[in-house]
Chains A and B, each alone.
Chain A
Amino acid sequence: MSKPLSDVRSAVGKVRGGVRVLHHKNTAQCPIVRVPAPQQVVLPMQMHIGKPCAPIVKVGDAVSVGQCIADSAEYVSAPIHASISGVVKGIGNITLPNGRVSQAVTIESDGEMRPFEGLHPPKMDTRESLIEAVRASGLVGLGGAGFPSHVKIAFKPGTIDTLIVNAAECEPYITVDDRECIENAWNVLSGVNILRILLQIPKVVICVEKNKPQAIRALSDVARGLELEKGVVTVMRLNSIYPQGAEKVMIYSATGRRVPPGKLPSDVGCLVMNVASVAFIARYAQTGKPLVSRSLTVDGSAICEPKNVRVPVGMQVGEVIDFCGGFKSAPHKIITGGPMMGLAVISTDIPVLKQNNAILAFSEADSLKKETDCINCGRCAATCPMHLQPGSIARVLRAADADTLSGMGAMVCMECGSCAFACPAGKPLVQTMRLAKTIIREGAARNG
């Protein structure tokens, strides 16, 4: 019998830049608990990158858990399913945390959480049926981006040689992916197997930051149990440095390949999927239950009982916070997502979206720093994982035209926030980069 097989390795490519942020993984030992079904959910039609869905139910219709309530004929889109059973109460517009207005379906609960009868384990035995099933499941990238997964996996066969499972979770506070690995390592590996075999990907690398030893052990134990040939499934320990989980950074760490500006991971033969998405595919293959709930970390200095929770998509953020004991002090800032890239919201009266992975509430008022003059210390450039010079871009922003800014590589910026984190002068460098990108896009629109 051949010896096993799956091994734990350290990173291939050494990342330059990044910042050391305090991890604050306070909830790492909190198992994911299921939140009781809320009275109502609000399901926005835009919970993914791409075209919004259109409702296929009417006000007054009875719906059950997992029933498809909205879909789109567009390719880059993902259907939306009812996350509770009940009656469609209204279809109207809401403002999402990112400021976009989206149509939304409100469902009032009947308290039964009755599953939809039509649900059955999908047929997943060929590449085409897998893609079809993933589309039907409504899966989007659960790490935060929300890109429809079926589009991602519909690559030309043979062009991808490495599947990278992103379990880095480099954002402070968030621990749901960590918990997913610890509690459901078997699901993760089974999802890996489905993708690996049906999409014919020869190599799989599961990337975890070093600060999650339990997750690394759980994953490598299960991976060893698969008794695959050496190198087929590897668990990789990455340095705990922010933004290790950013796609391009992760690909470089895992394979040593660099994704050129404007290119996609598939251009260097890689497919990157969040660990929660991979585990979801395994669960979906067994139960046929589409994406109607997701795990969240609820934490921050203003939260009474920080927890990891599994909530129905569309539940109000305020209700989720209430489940965690409510606020112990007046919140000053509430963030959906992590503190480095998450969105500050102006109200808790917003639904949990498919791609949300955390709700953080802080009572400190120190999050806004006084802006002073740039002293040219170069820390923004030294921390930029994309090797840009945010300080220089800020200096030329007002004067420069689109060509100059684009020549400085502004479009490569992924807004990870390392530069702004490190800036001793408190410069709003992420906004600077966003502005630079807007100028470049406007320039391109004018010329083209």
Chain B
Amino acid sequence: MVDGRLLTASASPHFRTRDTTTLIMLDVILALVPALVASVVIFGWRALAVTGVCVACCVLFEYLSRRVMRRANTIGDLSAVVTGIILAFNLPSTIPFWMAGFGSLVAIVVVKQMFGGIGENFVNPALLGRIVLMVSFPKAMLANWATPFAWRGAAPDAITSATPLAILKSGEGDMPALLSMCFAKAGCLGEVCGAALVLGGIYLVVRRVITPVIPLCYVGTVAVCMFLRALTAGEDPLTFTAYELLSGGLLLGAIFMATDYATSPTSTSGKVIFAVGCGLLTSLIRLFGNMSEGVSFSIILMNILVPHIDALTAPRPFGVTREKRKCKKDGEEAAA
């Protein structure tokens, strides 16, 4: 007590970073803005409407489910907004709004809150929302792509039935020019402008929200696999690889979904294993699977392995040598 006023006593440290969960989520939202703008330019106001519906539903479901569970309200941390945007980015612009709302319900209530809320979900909520929609409504999700920029032209409702990735897979139809693939292509809302996604990714790395390990290893692994495939198939390896990297949700997945804190390993070596695994699975699904797209499934599958990767790659405490840890384990086994 000083001059009759009580002093605050608390444990050290008495300084703390100004970063909070809310600020981190705000950074992620900012990083998603370029891709959102791009999708509005490419698909028109419906892109914004789908995103708005997803965000509103996610925040509402987060609020309601916390309320029903009698837990503290957490919409202020903005994680539901991020989930909403990313879910919208995984949907075609033509999706009926009620389906977008249903996807939000699955993502927030089933995947996130039922497992304990932020940080406790074991798979990426937005991705599982997308997969549930894909399995439930395959036609709306997989065969109804708006033609880029058609909304400004004569036929505003022009629909194409194939994304570049599907064309690449089936070999039927004409691929768009490589350069236009960087900026606009048919596909889900968020994945259509590779340049905007990379811009957002760079922002996240600069702000130290993510490290570049997962995106680089993921994309790199896919690049190597596709390069080898093109070599064996006798195609031009560089063009084939470039098309594969720019097609589908690879960049969106690698930059914004595989890097989700709750569902990716914390150590650098763990991140490498996780990202290479994602890359291998994506390549396998794309090259040999039934579906044309494999990013969602590969990230979800690797999400499930994260606890094991974390256990395998737990750092050794400072000063503990490899031999010592092994000796200790052997000793424990002998004792048991």
On whether the beta carbons of A373 and B117 are closer than 8 Å, the reply is yes
Contacts of A375 in B (CB 8 A): 21, 24, 79, 118-119, 261-262
On whether the beta carbons of B7 and A347 are closer than 8 Å, the reply is yes
Contacts of B13 in A (CB 8 A): 339-341, 417, 420-421, 430
Instruction: Tell me, yes or no, whether B74 is within 8 Å of chain A by CB.
Output: yes
On whether the beta carbons of A344 and B7 are closer than 8 Å, the reply is yes
On whether the beta carbons of A426 and B16 are closer than 8 Å, the reply is yes
On whether the beta carbons of A343 and B320 are closer than 8 Å, the reply is no
On whether the beta carbons of A261 and B317 are closer than 8 Å, the reply is yes
Flag A408-428 by CB within 8 Å of B: 1 or 0 each: 110010010100111111101
Number of A-B pairs whose CB atoms are under 8 Å? 164
Instruction: Tell me, yes or no, whether A290 is within 8 Å of chain B by CB.
Output: no
Known contacts A331-B2, A346-B1; decide if A428 and B11 are in contact (CB<8 Å): yes
Closest B-chain residue to A420, C-beta based? B13
Q: Is the interface of A mostly helix, strand, loop or mixed?
A: loop
On whether the beta carbons of A376 and B7 are closer than 8 Å, the reply is no
Contacts of B79 in A (CB 8 A): 375
Question: In the complex, A434 Cα to B13 Cα: how many Å?
Answer: 13
Task: Determine which residue in B16, B74, B120, B262 has the highest number of CB atoms from chain A within 10 A of its CB, and name it.
Answer: B16
Closest B-chain residue to A368, C-beta based? B10
On whether the beta carbons of B118 and A348 are closer than 8 Å, the reply is no
Contacts of A252 in B (CB 8 A): 318
On whether the beta carbons of B17 and A367 are closer than 8 Å, the reply is no
How many residues does chain B have at the interface if contact means C-beta atoms less than 8 Å apart? 42
Instruction: Tell me, yes or no, whether B314 is within 8 Å of chain A by CB.
Output: yes
Flag B145-164 by CB within 8 Å of A: 1 or 0 each: 00000000000000000000
Task: Determine which residue in A340, A346, A375, A408 has the highest number of CB atoms from chain B within 10 A of its CB, and name it.
Answer: A375
Question: In the complex, A425 Cα to B319 Cα: how many Å?
Answer: 29
Instruction: Tell me, yes or no, whether A273 is within 8 Å of chain B by CB.
Output: no
The contact of B21 among A339, A387, A424, A431, by CB within 8 Å, is: A424
Minimum CB–CB distance from A100 to chain B (whole Å) comes to 15
The contact of A248 among B3, B12, B77, B319, by CB within 8 Å, is: B319
Contacts of B314 in A (CB 8 A): 389, 392, 408
Flag B301-328 by CB within 8 Å of A: 1 or 0 each: 0000000001000111111110010000
On whether the beta carbons of A373 and B7 are closer than 8 Å, the reply is no
Minimum CB–CB distance from A262 to chain B (whole Å) comes to 9
Question: In the complex, A367 Cα to B16 Cα: how many Å?
Answer: 7
On whether the beta carbons of B262 and A376 are closer than 8 Å, the reply is yes
Contacts of B120 in A (CB 8 A): 373
On whether the beta carbons of A421 and B17 are closer than 8 Å, the reply is yes
Instruction: Tell me, yes or no, whether A21 is within 8 Å of chain B by CB.
Output: yes
On whether the beta carbons of B319 and A373 are closer than 8 Å, the reply is no
Contacts of A334 in B (CB 8 A): 2, 7
Instruction: Tell me, yes or no, whether A25 is within 8 Å of chain B by CB.
Output: no
The contact of A340 among B12, B320, B324, by CB within 8 Å, is: B12
Question: In the complex, A347 Cα to B74 Cα: how many Å?
Answer: 37
Instruction: Tell me, yes or no, whether A153 is within 8 Å of chain B by CB.
Output: no
Contacts of A9 in B (CB 8 A): none
Instruction: Tell me, yes or no, whether A258 is within 8 Å of chain B by CB.
Output: yes
Shortest Cβ-Cβ A-B pairs, 8 listed: A378-B266, A409-B317, A417-B13, A260-B319, A258-B319, A386-B318, A339-B14, A424-B19
Q: What are 8 of the A-B contact pairs (CB < 8 Å)?
A: A261-B318, A343-B12, A344-B14, A387-B316, A412-B320, A420-B12, A421-B17, A422-B17
